Structures are given as structure tokens and as C-alpha cells.
A and B are shown apart, each in its own frame.
Chain A
Amino acid sequence: MKGKTVINAAGREVPLEINGQPAIPFKGVGKHRPAGRKHGTLVPTCIDFPSDGNKVVGSLEEAIRRCGLKSGMTISTHHHLRDGDLVSNTVFDIAADIGLKDLVWFPSASFPCHELLIKYLEDGTINRIEGSMNGPLGRFVSEGRMKGTAVLRSHGGRVQAIQDGEVKIDIAVLAAPSADFFGNARGTGGPSACGVLGYAKADYMYADKVIIVTDNLVEFPCYPMEIEGNYVDYVVVTDKIGIPERIVSGTTQITKSPDRLLIAELTARFLEKSGILMDGAAIQAGAGGTSLAIAVFLHDILREKGWESKFGFGGSTKYMVKMLEEGQMGYILDAQVFDLEAVRSVEENTHHVPYSVYNAYNYHSKGNLTSMMDIMILGATEVDLNFNGNVVTHSDGYLLHGIGGWQNCLHARNVILPIPLFRDRIPVIVDEVTTLCGPGELIDVIITERGIAINPLRKDLIENVKGSGLPIRTTQELKDEAEKICGKPQKARFDEEIVAVVKWVDGTVIDIVRKIKA
């Protein structure tokens, strides 16, 4: 993509137009005010639907044809089936068979299994992906081989874009582990149970057409209904929507790496000594091995002090479930479930509550769950001297990850990044991030195995840990130490061409990704 660019409030050069649509440059955190009304879908009438409520059609292809899929349309899917998703690829197999071109795939995240779609990017069936770019897809885009420009959004940014009408979904194809003939659906039950369907809400509410695909048709009513049948056009029953062992881990495991355990232990000590961990603290940690280890250490501290976290926000794991069941956590609010223990918990525990991303992370709504959180544990591929964070590219310039909920979670009271100082010789703390995904003013603490850097804006935290014996350093000192060990890296080299843009949580453009120089 080429065209007119400007320098945004973060000092990054960004385009004023993306894929033919106008774009607003990033204005600063909390500076952009949206105007206008939310996107509205076509008004349906029940006259057009079977009076007996049975919306089951013979095949996914029939449903897609009946929805009137045309070249250039946008198809959305959710990622609750993760790397076991069999539905998204099938949708494009059908579209390619029909001979459609220039489709836009708008997933809530992509996984290695979606590598199969590269052939449709190559033959023009798919124009572009607006969603996370993992592994081979990221490499494909970074090499400038995708026709359209990729648009990377956070989970919250995605639902904001849907709600605000930046992305108009023509057809949402939503896999459902359980559904009834009317289209009511949930994430539990059946061979492909994924727990909750927290990422599908904006899709079914705002898409023009909604198809539910299930391998577990249950009697009406499918209850509790995370997706409401009144939004659904067609229900498709297939043999298999997913590969169970790739949907949820049988069991998530804390890291065995001694270095990561060290980081986890240091993080727990920091949270305790800085006073951030307290009775009632709301906690969110991810499902990575280090985060899980931190959760275990925090659980120990809560138990020892007789404290209770008032709620934790999922993705949930067995370690969070343990806190809930042993009385150290009041509620789990949950948008996605990572292991079988968590699936069990959400099915049987009324304090384990499905909670959609639409409600939790949408910046253009009447409140922000993440700003109510006390402890937010996140990762990053790079952090720079000014605490700016990157999660989408690596230092070699290649797109490799989606944003996930990362940008949304930056609004928590205390944002903590436990990260190794270098990964296989690649320093994580750099002069300037390759791609800016989150402004440094929102990142409070970086915890590495070789020291902790506290954002100078957080004078309170700096004061709290004085005399604690914790290894407090500056980002400059940490960077110098990494470079002393690893050597000073060369810079990645790029062409002019913009292959992806990174949106901020309010829909403005915070940065771009350029094509790798061949």
C-alpha cells in the first residue's frame, strides 16, 4: 500500500487511507472522541423464517449460498476452537469452489491451522485478513505477498470496529459446540466443547447474516444461550467442527524453565512488596507458562495472608479455578477457557461467569472492565527505553503475533510485563520498538531475570519498593546489560511498502508495518 501519510501523536508515520477507507491517525491515549451512531444491520422480519423455528439447512455451502455471499464481502469467524478450528478453512474452500474473489477474512484471531488459507491469499479468493497474523501468515504478509493491507486490532478494537461500522460483516460463520435448531448456542457440551463463546457476541449482533455451525445439535432450548437464536439466519450440522485436543489443552502447565520461574518468582515478590497485591485485588494473568507460575505464586501469598481476590478475568485455567474453589478468588469472569478443568468449572460453578469481550474490552462503551483491574500480567516481544511495547513483530521485522487483548489490558491500574531480557540472543529491551502497539505511559513495570524497571511516571511504586532488596534498574541499564551479553543487534531493513496497520483501541492508527527488504 502506498499513499498519503502523516506523523501521528506517537511520532509514527501512518497512512490516511487503508484499503480504500479513510483512517484516523492516533491522537494520544484517551484523546479521540467518536461521533455518530452505532452500526445498524438490516431490519429482519420473522415472516422470512420458519414458523416452527427450525433453521437447519443441509450444508454449510447451502447456508453460504442462501446468505448471498459475493466477491468482495467480509466473512467473520471466532477463534474459540483455536488451533483445532475446522470451520474457517472450510468456508473459504467453499468460496473458492464457487469462484468468488477478493473476500475479506475477519477472524477474532488466527492459528497455525489457518496456514492452509495462504493458497487462497495467493489465488485471489481472499484479498486480505483483518486480524492477528501468526507464524506463516505473518511471514506471508511481511514479505508483501498479500493483496490488501492487513489491519491488526486488539480483541476490544475488533468489537469497537464492528460496533462503530468500520468493519461491516456480511456473514458471520460461528462455530458452536452446542446449538439448537433455532440457533441458540453455547460453548459447552459436545465433542468440541470450548467453554465459552465470549468472542462471538459482536459478530452475531452486527453481522448482516449469521450462520451457526455445530457438531452437537441439542433439543430446543440450548441453554444457557451465549448466542441468541433471534440473531441467527441458518443452522448447519456437520460431523466435526474442531479437533478437540487442539481446542483446549488437556491441562495447562506452569513453566519448567528455571529462568522463567525466576522471573515469575521475582514478579510475585514485586507485587507483594510494592503493595499492588492486596486483599480484594482484581487479577488478570494469561495462560502462558510464566503467567501460570505467577498465578501459583500469587495464590500462595493470598492463602498465607488470608486474602481474597475479588475477581479474576479469564482466559481461565486450572490454576485460576483452584483459587476460586479454595476461596482465594471471588469470581472468574471469563471470555475464553484454556483447559479442561476450566471447562468443568464454567459448567458447574455459578461464580465462574461467561463474560463477553464485547462487554469487557470495548473502548467505545459505557465503561471499561480492564481499568477496574489491579494487577495485569502481560507479555511483549519488545519494550523500548520509554516503556513503549510491541507485540506483533519481532526485532527482525516479521509479523508473528496478534495483539489479542493486550492493548485493552494496558488500561489496568498496574500493568506488569514479566519478560526475559533476551530470547535466544535477541534483546527484548530496545532503543525504539520495531512496531508501536502500546504507548509507554500505560506500561508500569518490566520484570526480567536480571532486574526490574519501573516507569518513572509511577513514583508511588518506586517509593514503595525502596529498601525492599528487589533489583530495581533503569531500562537503559537493562538494555546495556543485554547488549553486553548478546552484542548490539543490527537493524531490520524494510521497503517503503506498508503491509499492515496497527489500530489503537479507539480505532485510530497507532503504527504501521512495512514490507521486509528482500
Chain B
Amino acid sequence: MNRTAAKTGNAGPGIRSDCEIVLETGNQVGITIDLISKVKTLYGESITALCKEVLGFYGVENAHLKINDSGALPFVIAARMEAAIKQIMDTDLDYLPEFLPENSYSTAPGRFRFARLYIPGNNPALMINAGLHSADGLILDLEDSVAPSRKDEARILVRNALRQINFGGSERMVRINQGERGLKDLDYLIPHSVNLILIPKCEDPGNVRNIDIKISEIKMRYGLTNPVFLMPIIESALGIENSYDIARASVNIAAIAIGLEDYTSDIGVSRTNEGRESLYARTRLINAAKAAGIQPIDSVFSDVTDMEALKNSVYESRSLGFEGMGCIHPRQIAVVRQGYFPSQDELEKSVKIVEAYEEALKNGMGVVALGSKMIDPPVVARAQKSVDLAIRLGLLPADRVSGEGSR
């Protein structure tokens, strides 16, 4: 690398909580800093001090730095600085902000993944409060929402966000890029307490295995023991055909998702709200997931203003067998979660069936009856699943029925 000028981050109208860094190391002697900031009165000194610290960390002694800041938090400024320096200099050093202790939690493979919220990986303004919206999972996205020219700086920003943003108990997820870039992404993610990696445009089990191996290597290198789950996203005709093999490609796979925008484009049709064009793909994926014992997860619903249509879409999704859906706006989270919960009617009926079953057991009866109706064993099993789900969601008290949890 022999560049002497670098530019990272964003500035301009409509940009908030970010900064643009222009770094020049050409004919400079010493460090000079020009700071434009809307918070200069309150944070001017600390911004300058942080930038000098990062330059010092990388041994940069001569540089002219221009910062155009719109209220970026320190982890953002540090990420933009590091990315700028790495455009100029070859280095493996990482300037790591403090890791928030409240973010070091692990998750279970069977945990709920009803609503997972996508957050563009190069947009700090949308990251800061993401942990407040009670999503089951938060996905920092390095793939489609990041412009190709910004992939490197997004990777550093996402790493810093993993360390500094309070995820509020949501599962900590990252969607990596495809291929080699995706493998490289993992170096920036795995050491920072990621719970789950989404693998985009997955077409064969080999994709998953490569990622799985790379994750194991990184974990070994850092001595990490926390589980890192995988969620392949199937977005093509070939991927659908291979979905069962993909679902079984690693023991770390917790869920498999479908991406309908790319899938419909791959088969050459338009995506409709009714979704008849993708019914085969969706049901095939659900079946593959159930056969492999993992969660089938639905695509995102892209109209963020139409809550009624979203509600209908979630009901249909649930009725097909999906156990979660992607969200692209926090407003969708509550609607999606609510939609995957068992309905009140369904719950009452299930409780009655389970109670009748327990009554029959107690009385040593071989046949379960509700009123004048005989109940088949699969019906009892399904009712039991509903009740277990409701207990886990807190919709029914844990001692309501003596069912075995499905966790």
C-alpha cells in the first residue's frame, strides 16, 4: 500500500451520529487536526484526543486530519479512524473500544427467533438504540445494505458496535458477505461475542462447512467457548433444492431462512403479497428444516407502512410452519412477535385437550375424549406443543400443565 490519502465515514445533510474522516499523510510534519462538529463546544477536546490516541496506537506521527462530525459516538469515531488508517497502512492491529460486560451472553439453539431486525452495517445512527426495541435478534448487516466500496469500513464499525452497543438481551447476529469476503468478515466478528452468523445466498452444504471451520479456527485461536450458531439464508432455486443437506451441514445450524426477493428474481418471477410463486420454495424449506430439527424462518416483509398486510403475512407464515420473520423497521417487531404467538382461542382449546389427556392418564383410560369427541394422539401432541410455547412466552403460568418443554 502506498496511498497517502484516505476517506471514511459520512457527512452531509441528513447524516446523524456519524463523521467523515479525511486523512492525509503525504508531506505532513506532525499531527494537525481540523474539526467541524455540531458538538464541538461539548466534545471538541475529547474528539481530538481520541483521534490522536488512535493515530498514536498505529504509530502515525505525521498526518493532517479533517473531521466532519455530526455527533458520532466515540466507538464510531474510532472505527472511522481505524478504517482510514488501514486504507493507508498494512496492519493487523485492531483498536478495540471497551467491551460492554452486559453483552457477554450466550444463546440456546432453540431460543425464539420470531422477529429479527436488520440494521445496515455502515449506519451508526440506526445502531445506537437498536437494543431497545425488544427484537428476538439484531442483525448487523455487512452484505446487501453496505455499498461495495464501504465494505471494509463497515466491518470495523460493526465490530465496534458489537463491543459498545447494548443489545439489550437480543440475540447478537451478523449477516456476513458471500464467499472469501465473508470468511474474512469472521475475523472481525467471532472474537467479539457474536451469537449467530447469517450466511447469505447459501446454495450448498460446502458454503456452510467452510464458514463453520473458519469459526472453529478463530474460536480455538482466541480460546473461546461460547457457541456461535449459523443461519443459512436460501435465496435461489438451487439453494431450495439443496435445503435439507444445507440444514444438516453443521451441528451449529440453529435455523434456516428464506430470502424471497432474490429467490423470485432467480426463478424469474415477480414477488407478490399473496406469494403463490414462492409457495413451493417456502414449504420445501419448512419441511427440510423440520426434518433436520431446526427452525424455519421466513423472509422480510418490505412494506414498513402497511401493518395490516404485515399482520396477515405473519399469520400465513405461521400457518405454513415458519417460526420467525425478518424485520426491516423496529415498528414491525411487535406485530411480527404477536403474530407468531398462539391465539387466545387456540390456547384455550389446547389447554382443554391437554387437561383431558392428563385426566385420562390419571384414570388409566387408554382413550382421550373431550366431550363426545375422541382425540387422536397427534392432536394431543400438537396441543401440548402449543401449551409449551405459551408457557415459554409467559402467556400461561409454568405450573399450568405438567407438559415437557420443547426447548
Residues in chain A within 8 A of chain B (CB atoms): 258-259, 261-262, 395-397, 423-426, 449-450, 485-487, 489-490, 492-493
Contacts and interface: CB of A to CB of B under 8 A. Distances in A.
Given A449-B129, A487-B73, 7 more contacts: A258-B133, A258-B331, A425-B17, A485-B128, A489-B39, A490-B44, A493-B41
Contact of B329 (A258, A262, A397, A426): A258
24 contacts: A258-B129, A258-B133, A258-B329, A258-B331, A259-B132, A262-B129, A262-B132, A262-B330, A395-B42, A396-B40, A396-B41, A396-B42, A424-B38, A424-B39, A424-B70, A425-B42, A425-B71, A425-B73, A426-B42, A449-B132, A450-B132, A487-B46, A490-B42, A490-B43
A255 to B, nearest CB: 11
A107 B186 CA distance: 61
**Secondary structure of the A side of the interface?**
loop
B227 interface: no
B115 interface: no
Given A425-B17, A425-B71, A426-B71, A261 B331 contact: yes
A63 B128 CA distance: 57
A258 B42 contact: no
Given A258-B329, A487-B74, A490-B44, A426 B129 contact: no
A489 B38 contact: no
A124 B234 CA distance: 71
Interface of B: 16-17, 38-46, 70-74, 128-129, 132-133, 329-331
Contacts of A490: 41-46
Given A259-B129, A259-B132, A424 B42 contact: no
A485 B72 CA distance: 11
A397 B70 CA distance: 18
A395 B38 CA distance: 11
A395 B71 CA distance: 13
A385 B126 CA distance: 28
A492 B39 CA distance: 11
B132 A424 contact: no
A424 B72 CA distance: 7
Contacts of B42: 395-396, 425-426, 489-490, 492
Contacts of A396: 39-42
B36 to A, nearest CB: 14
B46 A424 contact: no
Contacts of A487: 43, 46, 73-74
A80 to B, nearest CB: 30
Contacts of B133: 258, 262
A259 B70 CA distance: 18
B13 to A, nearest CB: 14
A258 B330 CA distance: 6
Contacts of A424: 16-17, 38-39, 70-71
A486 B331 contact: no
9 residue pairs, one from A and one from B, having the closest CB atoms: A424-B71, A258-B330, A489-B42, A396-B41, A425-B71, A259-B129, A425-B39, A492-B41, A424-B16
Nearest to A486: B73
A135 to B, nearest CB: 14
B124 to A, nearest CB: 11
Contacts of A261: 330-331
A485 B98 CA distance: 12
A450 B132 CA distance: 8
B329 A425 contact: no
Nearest to A487: B46
Given A396-B41, A490-B43, A425 B72 contact: yes
Contacts of B16: 424
A395 B72 CA distance: 17
Contacts of B71: 423-426
B73 A485 contact: yes
B169 to A, nearest CB: 13
A396 B42 CA distance: 6
Contacts of B39: 396, 424-426, 489
Contacts of B40: 396
Contact of A397 (B17, B41, B129): B41
A423 B17 CA distance: 9
A479 to B, nearest CB: 14
Nearest to B39: A425
Contacts of B73: 425, 485-487
Nearest to B38: A424
Nearest to A493: B41
A44 B39 CA distance: 55
Contacts of B72: 425
A423 B42 CA distance: 13
A360 to B, nearest CB: 35
A261 B129 CA distance: 12
A266 B132 CA distance: 12
A261 to B, nearest CB: 7
Of A261, A262, A425, chain B has the most CB atoms within 10 Å of the CB of A425
Contacts of B129: 258-259, 262, 449
Nearest to B332: A258
A489 B16 CA distance: 18
Of B16, B41, B129, B329, chain A has the most CB atoms within 10 Å of the CB of B41
Contacts of A397: 41
A375 to B, nearest CB: 24
A258 B131 CA distance: 12
Nearest to B16: A424
A323 to B, nearest CB: 21
A434 B347 CA distance: 55
Contacts of A259: 129, 132
A228 B326 CA distance: 61
Nearest to A492: B41
Of B128, B129, B330, chain A has the most CB atoms within 10 Å of the CB of B129
Contacts of B44: 490
A493 B40 CA distance: 12
A262 B74 CA distance: 24
Contacts of B330: 258, 261-262
